[in-house]
């Protein structure tokens, strides 16, 4: 029990509905975490890894039908359908709760209901927020221990205040003599439902990732985005990095990128420019509030990394690999003969004699994948070799620049600076990315993903853009971060990437902070400002002949073709679309036509 009457009453109400065998209040201790790992090992959910390889780590393998977020079963249940907007699935709150109540009835029979009080952000931070998740999954408890701050200290800060309510069940009740499954879930029914007006999350049937770890996308983005709108701050799908130049001057940058666009790699970048240093504040989510100094100050609300494993290697992200030396939970990876994990591209040479994520024998040359494409690692952020000392500063860090990005093989230059905050909002609102083989839809198809929030905005996205626009009135425009659009994925006529990416992206970051400091030159174009000739540091970089010119070129014809696509995108939002964004589309077309003459 707690000292919060609302919490105690809710826990009692849910226990009566779900019928668990017992109720356990999580205290956040290491002993509790270790107990969850033992339970998972005993039930066959987890396999311990070799202590001499990755001490304190386990491999978990889910059911093949429960391997990723289920966006088609994710709902925003606002009272008014238009408040959810055209990018979200919607159902009326009363109707959805009636359906879910019957599914939850008796759903935890034979299981323990865990009460997880958690803080998104450092406990007690003015930017942090408290939630409580009720779940019947030890896997969820263990992951929440890593991804959030869990336990009694959270209840002390909560006192008798309000909190985000998260109810989760795998939907697999047990009879008195029923054996448990290594991965309990519900094949027939999966719902991930958000009730933004009452700050509730109800999740049923899935035990995987963001479907079940309700502090992550559900609370930290979908519910928090609504809280941020109501309270005057921003909850964003953004990395936060700290960049220090050779003279010791520090700048903080956030960045929003859709999947497969190098977000985690940028957050943990190893710069190739001598004397420059990148440290990590966060790799996925940023909460930003206007501080006493009038600047946007950001925290990483998470305490861990829940990263995609395939493609992560010493070559692509050595600092992520350095985080994974122990105390990690790996999900749906392969297992090697010597008791380690493996996934595609982790090493130059695949192992012999491994076991794939479906527990089948797997060896080098096998056609099928060893790890699931969405295989994950969960690891404490404090283990990152380049975690910044101030990553848990309760006041947050002052943001100098915001990056938007996407995977575009043509049209969009390497880097573009917005003219002003409204133009930067326009850039984010029209951001898109070409799909890869790992995404739903045809390869190379342009998918608009505004601010990388398409799956995560908890209300009408046109209202969300309007909320962004209000920040010019909330503080001095001069104190707002500068906004940039970056694109590492331009290709030349031969189909090869023009820019080497990875550590070389530090050259773009250098130009950005030099713009913030007022020392780098830029050229005005119809789409924004691009680096002036000689302003981008390419010293020692071997680029193909003409590559830099193509990287910074503004393709007038390509952008004229883009304008009607932008208007089609905006048309989905009808009268809710901010008029200033529609005006920016008109301004863009006029500027392009003038440049074409």
User: Whole-angstrom Cα distance, residue 238 to residue 252?
Assistant: 12
In a domain, 51, yes or no: no
> Residue 3 has what pLDDT?
84
> Residue 262 has what pLDDT?
85
Q: Which two tokens stand for residue 376?
A: 């994950």
Please identify, among 349, 383, 417, the residue that sits at the C-terminal boundary of a domain. 383
Task: Tell me the β-bridge partners of 486.
Answer: 405, 415
**Cβ contacts of residue 315 below 8 Å, gap of 6+?**
none
User: Whole-angstrom Cα distance, residue 365 to residue 350?
Assistant: 8
Contact indicator for 469, 451 with CB cutoff of 8 Å? no
Q: Do residues 25 and 119 share a domain?
A: yes
Give the number of C-alpha atoms closer than 13 A to the C-alpha of residue 21, restricted to the C-beta side.
9
For residue 495, the 8-state DSSP code is S
Please identify, among 383, 405, 427, the residue that sits at the C-terminal boundary of a domain. 383
Read off the CATH number of the domain in which 267 is found.
Answer: 3.90.228.20
Contact indicator for 164, 129 with CB cutoff of 8 Å? yes
Q: Do residues 309 and 429 share a domain?
A: no
**Can you list the positions of beta strands (E) in 471-543?**
482-486, 522-525, 528-531
Q: Do residues 443 and 526 share a domain?
A: yes
Q: Which two tokens stand for residue 385?
A: 């070799």
Q: Which of 380, 437, 423 is nearest to 587 (CA)?
A: 423
Whether the CA torsion 514, 519, 521, 527 is positive or negative: it is positive
State the average pLDDT for the chain: 96
**Cβ contacts of residue 259 below 8 Å, gap of 6+?**
438, 439
Q: Which two tokens stand for residue 390?
A: 């101030």
In the chain, which residues have pLDDT < 70?
Answer: 436-444
User: Whole-angstrom Cα distance, residue 50 to residue 353?
Assistant: 16
> Residue 449 has what pLDDT?
96
Q: Which two tokens stand for residue 295?
A: 């600047």
* SS3 (DSSP) at 582: helix
Q: Do residues 431 and 287 share a domain?
A: yes
Q: Do residues 180 and 164 share a domain?
A: yes
CA distance to 127, 172, 374, 471, 510, per residue, from 476 (Å): 20, 53, 42, 9, 25
Tens digits of residue pLDDT in 9-21: 999 999 999 999 9
> Residue 440 has what pLDDT?
43
Q: Do residues 451 and 343 share a domain?
A: no
Cβ count near 177 (within 10 Å): 6
Q: Do residues 214 and 269 share a domain?
A: no
In a domain, 61, yes or no: no
**Overall domain count for the chain:** 3
Q: Which of 160, 171, 165 is nearest to 136 (CA)?
A: 171
> Residue 439 has what pLDDT?
42
Contact indicator for 396, 285 with CB cutoff of 8 Å? no
Q: Do residues 311 and 448 share a domain?
A: no
Cβ count near 321 (within 10 Å): 17
> Residue 437 has what pLDDT?
44
> Residue 441 has what pLDDT?
47
**Cβ contacts of residue 170 below 8 Å, gap of 6+?**
136, 137, 184, 185, 186, 205, 206, 207, 212
> Residue 261 has what pLDDT?
84
Question: CA triplet 383, 389, 390: central angle to 5 degrees?
Answer: 120
In a domain, 22, yes or no: yes
Q: Do residues 189 and 250 share a domain?
A: no
In a domain, 408, yes or no: yes
Domain that holds residue 374: 304-383
Q: Do residues 240 and 218 share a domain?
A: no
Pairing relation of β-strands 286-290 and 46-48?
A: unpaired
Read off the CATH number of the domain in which 33 is found.
Answer: 3.40.449.10
Please identify, among 383, 402, 423, the residue that sits at the C-terminal boundary of a domain. 383
In a domain, 60, yes or no: no
In a domain, 13, yes or no: yes
Can you tell me which residue has the tokens 């996407």?
406
Q: Do residues 368 and 460 share a domain?
A: no
φ/ψ of 234, rounded to 5, equals: -130, 135
H or E element, residue 63: none
In a domain, 152, yes or no: yes
> Residue 173 has what pLDDT?
98
User: Whole-angstrom Cα distance, residue 516 to residue 167?
Assistant: 44
> Residue 259 has what pLDDT?
78
Can you tell me which residue has the tokens 């990590």?
280
User: Whole-angstrom Cα distance, residue 354 to residue 347?
Assistant: 14
Q: Could you list the active site residues?
A: 261
Q: Do residues 211 and 98 share a domain?
A: yes
CA distance to 144, 192, 384, 523, per residue, from 318 (Å): 25, 34, 10, 35
Tens digits of residue pLDDT in 74-113: 999 999 999 999 999 999 999 999 999 999 999 999 999 9
Read off the CATH number of the domain in which 329 is found.
Answer: 2.170.8.10
In a domain, 150, yes or no: yes
């Amino acid at each position: 029990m707690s000292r919060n009457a609302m919490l105690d009453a809710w826990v009692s109400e849910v226990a009566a509905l779900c019928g668990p065998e017992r109720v356990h209040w999580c205290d956040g201790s290491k002993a509790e975490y270790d107990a969850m790992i033992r339970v998972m090992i005993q039930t066959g959910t987890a396999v311990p890894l070799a202590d001499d390889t990755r001490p304190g780590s386990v491999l978990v393998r889910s059911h093949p039908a429960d391997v990723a977020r289920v966006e088609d079963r994710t709902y925003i249940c606002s009272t008014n359908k238009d408040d959810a907007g055209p990018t979200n699935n919607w159902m009326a709150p009363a109707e959805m709760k009636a359906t879910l109540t019957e599914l939850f009835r008796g759903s935890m029979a034979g299981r323990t209901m865990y009460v997880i009080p958690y803080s998104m952000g450092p406990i007690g931070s003015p930017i942090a927020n408290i939630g409580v998740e009720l779940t019947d999954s030890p896997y969820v408890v263990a992951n929440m221990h890593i991804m959030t701050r869990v336990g009694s200290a959270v209840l002390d800060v909560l006192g008798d205040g309000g909190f985000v309510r998260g109810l989760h069940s795998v939907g697999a009740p047990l009879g008195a003599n029923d054996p448990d499954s290594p991965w309990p879930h519900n094949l027939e029914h999966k719902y991930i439902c958000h009730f933004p007006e009452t700050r509730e999350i109800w999740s049923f049937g899935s035990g995987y990732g963001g479907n079940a770890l309700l502090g992550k996308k559900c609370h930290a983005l979908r519910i928090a985005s609504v809280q941020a709108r109501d309270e005057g701050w921003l909850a964003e799908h953004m990395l936060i990095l700290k960049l220090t130049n050779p003279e010791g001057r520090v700048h903080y940058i956030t960045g929003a990128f859709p999947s497969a666009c190098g977000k985690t790699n940028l957050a943990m970048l190893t710069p190739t420019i001598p004397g420059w240093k990148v440290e990590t504040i966060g790799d996925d989510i940023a909460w930003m509030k206007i501080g006493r100094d009038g600047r946007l100050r950001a925290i990483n609300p998470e305490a861990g990394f829940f990263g995609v494993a395939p493609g992560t290697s010493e070559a692509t992200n050595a600092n992520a690999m350095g985080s994974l030396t122990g105390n990690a939970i790996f999900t749906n990876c392969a297992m090697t003969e010597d008791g380690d994990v493996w996934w595609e591209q982790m090493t130059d040479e695949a192992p012999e004699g491994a076991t794939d994520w479906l527990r089948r024998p797997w060896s080098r040359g096998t056609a099928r994948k060893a790890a699931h494409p969405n295989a994950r690692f969960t690891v404490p952020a404090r283990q990152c070799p380049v975690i910044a000392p101030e990553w848990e500063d309760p006041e947050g860090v002052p943001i100098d620049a915001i990056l938007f990005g996407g995977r575009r093989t043509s049209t969009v230059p390497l880097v573009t600076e917005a003219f002003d905050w409204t133009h930067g909002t326009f850039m984010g609102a029209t951001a898109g990315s070409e799909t890869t083989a790992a995404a739903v839809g045809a390869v190379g198809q342009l998918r608009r993903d505004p601010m990388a929030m398409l799956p995560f905005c908890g209300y009408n996205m046109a209202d969300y853009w309007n909320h962004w626009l209000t920040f010019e009135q909330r503080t001095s425009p001069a104190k707002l971060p500068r906004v940039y659009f970056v694109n590492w994925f331009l290709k030349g006529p031969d189909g090869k990437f023009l820019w080497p990416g990875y550590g070389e992206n530090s050259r773009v970051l250098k130009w950005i902070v030099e713009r913030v400091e007022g020392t780098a030159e830029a050229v005005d174009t119809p789409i924004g400002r691009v680096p002036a000739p000689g302003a981008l540091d390419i010293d020692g970089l071997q680029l193909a002949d003409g590559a830099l010119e193509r990287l910074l070129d503004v393709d007038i014809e390509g952008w004229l073709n883009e304008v009607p696509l932008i208007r089609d995108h905006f048309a989905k939002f009808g009268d809710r679309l901010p008029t200033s964004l529609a005006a920016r589309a008109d301004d863009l077309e006029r500027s392009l036509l003038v440049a074409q003459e």
